Chain A
């Protein structure tokens, strides 16, 4: 027996009070229950909330579009929502599990007050969810540059999902108190989410009927953020009213339930509506981009951007300026236009979009190719996906300066082979200055080409490096040795290299100057050198780009 087992007990001498205190309202009991249950929910919500916050730290890139980030912010809270659903269900069924139902049934507070308390308790993880969302947004803004403004109605989706999950947990507990119910519900919801968050449903209004919808294509597929939020709030209210109705129907509950149903149905209808004007504008982005773009000039360069993407072009403009800073003045193109186009990268999640988006007949079938119109065409996104994209854009600018093709032949899809050409190395070196990360992008391309050669059992020397992939395919490829020489140059003091290149610009930009000659001019070790005997390109889509003749 422990010390406490032998602790003295007292008599309870106080006579029962004959005048009971006035009974508090059911609402006050519910609030008190809610406070207690909220503490318990919080203890189980902390881990998934922390994970959600950590996940948000993993996002990134140099530039984050806050609109896209707003659409996807709820993803960080899906685990919290699932845990809240299970925890709410278990909290409601706790008395049943532990056998205290009989005891609690003899208290004056009706079961409805307990249910209301459990519903109120859901506010705790909801608040945590809102805090995680706020933290994620603050972390993004703090650690990266941003474009666009956050969409509040999208940011609210995550916390509302947590609230909805909690209310659903309470409702399910009152309908089906069996222990497996919340897990089954989570599984079914996950299946629905995964099924609908695929391109197959992207063109369908039905897509918005699930709780969380991935928002990568937010600029392409119309989305009524406010209506979706109201729809979710309506569902939350329906779940809450449903849980309370289990204890008896009152006029007030019927009224609240009716309002919730009407609001949900109306909001569902609104969010499923597909406005024609949106599709017209979306089609114009492919068919006649210039008709919907705004243009301006800066430092002699003409920039054109799609509506809502002007800020992205600011970052493109900085890359242009950075490359120009190390380029001899004489090499700078007399007329340069940087015009935004929808690129392969922008549509990488659209897949075979024309099939599931019949309202976009002007969207390119198959692959996206850049026009060979002498202009540079960055996508809707810049500096947010990978450094390869950044170096690719910079090399295009360099290619224009040294007279190499900027894009593959639009008719044949062929890229020319610029192996062992000094000007190709110079273009790579220039591209490596586009952004702080561009050089890292070039390193990555070199490593990947080396790995590809090893994996195929081909001589390393034969591997050639496409200057970029996925988004911007330049019009030429270089040998692995050329790319290594460019990296060596990038490791040197850029002012010194720029001065040497400027001094010998006529020579280095000549098609006949070899990489070895460039190395000597720049006073760096000469790489192995020489042209590949059987060049091959790894990681290039043969349907899009094929290796052509040597660049002239």
Chain B
């Protein structure tokens, strides 16, 4: 697999808060999920990759280019699509006007071609028939898709999506998956809390916690972290369990050490993720 994005030992601090503390990784074509709890540094990492922020230390290389160099950074931006966590729309613009505005800034200067491209991406996200509506009249889901539309402009080679499914209902999330799963040959980095999205879409997953990479592998490998440590029982609590919750059928799922009279269950990516986080925290507390 060719490497599209490479980041080496990058650190970033905001005042006294360490957002990233020596993060290293690579991604290539395909979808990479970025999982982690709130404050793990996912958004900071994405913003650095999107060339919004510069790292305090460490190296970043995107499409073989150095974002620290002005000209190369511009070239990266030409080939990059980015959906921030909160894109911020101009409410008085129509959907078309907003995407068109971003298209202009993406240097699509031929008016006719640009308008065709704007219509294309709006159609792609299913907003073709509300193109003329003001953004303030659109629902939250539509706005999220509008954000995705602008990210898809000019068919970027690298797509960075920060919490793209946040606030979407299950049906909308499903449609989002349909949309991005068709991307072949493109490098997509997806930051999310939704382990389902990662399990469904990503061939690779990075888990960030406390500003460090805690896991780098496939979703199956992340699930296997919890292999032999997921249990189904009737008992409510288990002292050795990392996390437990009652499932829809009334039984209790435990991740970690088994409770009494428990049956072993097949681990999911979410189980592996939760166990990983738990152990990470435990180690940190012990340290």
Residues of A at under 8 Å CB distance from B? Answer: 1-2, 4-18, 20, 23-24, 28-29, 32-33, 36, 94-95, 98-110, 113-114
Q: For residue A8, which residues in chain B have a CB less than 8 angstroms away from its CB?
A: 126, 175
Given the known inter-chain contacts A10-B179, A102-B84, A106-B52, please indicate yes or no for A36 contacting B171, CB distance below 8 A.
Answer: no
**Alpha-carbon separation in the docked complex, A94 to B90 (Å):** 7
Q: Tell yes or no: B3 within 8 A of A by CB.
A: no
Write 24 A-B pairs (CB below 8 A) sorted by A numbering.
A4-B130, A4-B142, A9-B178, A10-B179, A10-B182, A11-B124, A12-B121, A13-B184, A17-B154, A17-B155, A18-B157, A23-B74, A29-B105, A33-B104, A33-B105, A94-B90, A98-B91, A99-B86, A102-B47, A102-B52, A102-B88, A106-B77, A107-B106, A109-B107
Q: Which of B94-102, B224-232, B252-260, B276-284 contacts A (4 or more CB under 8 A)?
A: B94-102
**Alpha-carbon separation in the docked complex, A14 to B153 (Å):** 12
**Alpha-carbon separation in the docked complex, A8 to B102 (Å):** 24
Given the known inter-chain contacts A15-B185, A16-B155, A36-B97, please indicate yes or no for A95 contacting B88, CB distance below 8 A.
Answer: yes
Of all A-B residue pairs in the complex, the 6 with the closest CB atoms, nearest first, are A11-B182, A99-B88, A100-B88, A107-B105, A7-B126, A24-B109
Please, what's the 1-or-0 string for B179-191, where 1 marks a CB less than 8 Å from any CB in chain A?
1111111100000
Q: Are A108 and B186 in contact (CB under 8 A)?
A: no
How close is A98's CB to chain B, nearest CB, in angstroms?
5
How close is A314's CB to chain B, nearest CB, in angstroms?
55
Query: Residue B50 contacts which of A15, A17, A95, A106 (CB distance < 8 angstroms)?
Result: A106
Query: Residue B77 contacts which of A12, A98, A101, A107 (CB distance < 8 angstroms)?
Result: A107
**Alpha-carbon separation in the docked complex, A302 to B107 (Å):** 73
Query: Residue A20 contacts which of B47, B78, B114, B178 (CB distance < 8 angstroms)?
Result: B78
Q: Are A16 and B106 in contact (CB under 8 A)?
A: no
How close is B235's CB to chain A, nearest CB, in angstroms?
40
Q: For residue B184, which residues in chain A have a CB less than 8 angstroms away from its CB?
A: 13, 15
Q: What is the chain B residue whose CB lies nearest that of A100? A: B88
Q: For residue A9, which residues in chain B have a CB less than 8 angstroms away from its CB?
A: 124-126, 145, 175-176, 178-179
**Alpha-carbon separation in the docked complex, A103 to B171 (Å):** 26
Q: Are A16 and B156 in contact (CB under 8 A)?
A: yes
How close is A503's CB to chain B, nearest CB, in angstroms?
78
How close is A13's CB to chain B, nearest CB, in angstroms?
5
Given the known inter-chain contacts A7-B126, A98-B88, please indicate yes or no for A16 contacting B186, CB distance below 8 A.
Answer: yes
Query: Known contacts A23-B74, A108-B106; can you find 8 more A-B pairs with CB under 8 A?
Result: A2-B142, A6-B171, A7-B127, A12-B152, A29-B109, A98-B88, A101-B88, A109-B107
Q: What is the chain B residue whose CB lies nearest that of A110? A: B74
Given the known inter-chain contacts A102-B52, A107-B102, please indicate yes or no for A12 contacting B183, CB distance below 8 A.
Answer: yes
Q: Are B102 and A28 in contact (CB under 8 A)?
A: no
Q: Are A5 and B84 in contact (CB under 8 A)?
A: no
Of the listed residues A12, A18, A33, the one surrounded by the most CB atoms of chain B closer than 10 A to its CB is A12
**Alpha-carbon separation in the docked complex, A110 to B107 (Å):** 10
Q: Tell yes or no: B56 within 8 A of A by CB.
A: no
How close is A58's CB to chain B, nearest CB, in angstroms?
33
Q: For residue B175, which residues in chain A have a CB less than 8 angstroms away from its CB?
A: 8-9
Query: Residue B142 contacts which of A5, A13, A101 (CB distance < 8 angstroms)?
Result: A5
How close is B159's CB to chain A, nearest CB, in angstroms?
9
Q: What is the chain B residue whose CB lies nearest that of A20? A: B78
